[in-house]
Amino acid sequence: MKYKEFIYCAIDFKRISEAKNILSKIKNHIGGIKLGLEFFIANGLKGIKLIKKYNLPIFLDLKLHDIPITVFKSLEAALDVEPEYISVHITGGSKMIELITKKKRYTKLIGITMLTSLEQDDIKSFGIKVSPKNYVKKLAEIAYKNGLDGIVSSPKELKYLRQTYSKKFIIITPGIRLNDDINEDDQKRIQSPGEAVFNGSNILIIGRPITKAKDPIKSLELIDKDINQRLNRL
């Protein structure tokens, strides 16, 4: 697995036993683990401590979004388990971001831009009149200027974002599907793993193509192959 460092598997399970089952199979073939709200609400910080025993970096994708002091205190609690990354919504505002970035920490703070399930019509219904690209562009600018370590963004905005920001500004990319899977999906702004890495993603968040596969290792090998082929295409 030449490119496994790019691959963070989304462990979207309520039961620890299910998480352990898949991780015991793939732990040597991935670069990290993404734990989201479903896992966190069911298992809390205790569950995260159990997953840390696999000695893989953890992206705690909580998408914190509230008034500044509430996010700050929530972050303090979450930092006890020292995840590699934790996510907050950039739309929480500059004051929220300024407050949480003052906290001394090991964990890198990652801003959520626009969810991959949303499209132009969705943000238009919110009263946002710009294109998804320009909306993400503005949110990324707020994140960068206010000291976040990186952002979560769909593959569709990757090319522009990486042209604007150096590799030190982390871009985490959900909405990753192998070409055979890009037909019906609840995530709309999606792309293959190879294209996403080529366009500048630091980390790919991949869940169902791995966890729902009959053979997760084979699926990971196909992901690795897709990245290799795209990066080495003449």
| Torsion sign across C-alpha atoms 108, 30, 177, 229 | positive
| 63 catalytic residue (yes or no) | yes
Q: Are 120 and 146 in contact (CB under 8 A)?
A: no
| Measured distance CA(5)–CA(17) in Å, rounded | 25
Beta strands in the chain (DSSP E): 7-10, 32-35, 58-64, 85-89, 108-112, 150-152, 170-173, 203-206
Catalytic residue among 25, 63, 137, 159: 63
DSSP structure class, residue 117: T
| Measured distance CA(108)–CA(176) in Å, rounded | 22
CA-angle at 103, arms to 12 and 164, nearest 5°: 70
- Angle between helical axes of 16-26 and 216-231 (0-180°, round to 10): 50
Give the three-state DSSP class for 91: helix
| Torsion sign across C-alpha atoms 131, 137, 143, 145 | negative
At a CB cut-off of 8 Å and minimum separation 6, what does 87 contact?
59, 60, 61, 62, 63, 64, 109, 110, 111, 112, 152
What residues act catalytically?
Answer: 63
